[in-house]
Amino acid sequence: MNVPQSGARSRTPDPSARAALFDVDGTLTDTNALHVTSWWEALRQAGHRIPMHAVHHALGLPGRDLLAHLLGPERDEAEAERINTAHDVLYATYFDRITTTPRAGDLLRALAAEGWRVVLVTSASGAELSALLRAIDADDAIHATTSADDVDHGKPHPEPVHQALELAGTAPDRAVYVGDSVWDMRAGRNADVACVGLLCGGIPSADLEAAGAHCVRQDPADLLAGLGTGPFAEVGA
């Protein structure tokens, strides 16, 4: 498998380029429940009883920030590192069972065929990223990826989106960011990029809209069917 290039590539913005930026977990892959289970169990093993709904709403944050959100800023750093490692080990057991959200690969290919530069914005890296890309099976449509390894600050900080724009070689007003979490929407809003929220990650429409979504769709299949309306139509005009 040819993994799309990740990392910084300094570019002069191309005024004609359009970028379609995508979160991965919960957006293109149906993995949120797997992450919730893995985080919940890792926390339980460390003696923390965190409700699954709280873990779910924290998804989209990098591991360090997720644990700070759930355990508070006074958490023990060594324990947090152990919990993070436990999550990674537990989640890795699901790699060969990862599935995509409806028509995720078809959506990426349709956008690429229309000239959009598709960039994945994810905190996954290494074997996890390879497993996600293998499930999506649309490497031919993906222009580049950016991961937590490429930035100093994760979502909702705008840096991951800025990095994706740099990889695409385009400006914020020529891009659309698609995600399933409030952290995705806030990161896109903080980077001045139009955002589309997807419900397939399990976060309510009202929460996504309050965080900055310009519109909300059910899943990639619904977004593909409606590409002629909303932010993709507006940016592509």
Rg of the chain taking only CA atoms, in angstroms: 17
Domains and CATH numbers, the chain: 18-30+98-236 (3.40.50.1000), 32-93 (1.10.150)
Structure tokens at 148: 């937590």
Q: Looking at this protein, which amino acid is placed at residue 73?
A: P
pLDDT score at 4: 53
Q: How far apart, in whole angstroms, are the C-alpha atoms of residue 55 and residue 196? A: 22
List C-alpha distances in Å: 95 to 27, 29, 122, 183, 190: 17, 11, 16, 24, 32
Alpha helices (H) along the chain = 32-45, 52-58, 63-71, 77-92, 104-113, 126-136, 159-168, 182-190, 205-211, 220-225, 231-236
pLDDT score at 217: 98
Q: Looking at this protein, which amino acid is placed at residue 62?
A: P
Q: How far apart, in whole angstroms, are the C-alpha atoms of residue 225 and residue 98? A: 24
CB distance 15 to 162 below 8 Å: no
User: pTM of the predicted model, to two decimals?
Assistant: 0.93
Residue 48 gets which letter from DSSP? -
In this structure, what are the phi and psi dihedrals at residue 156, rounded to the nearest 5 degrees? -90, 10
Mean pLDDT per 10-residue run, the chain (237 residues)? 46 82 98 98 97 97 94 90 97 97 98 97 93 97 93 94 96 97 98 98 98 98 95 88
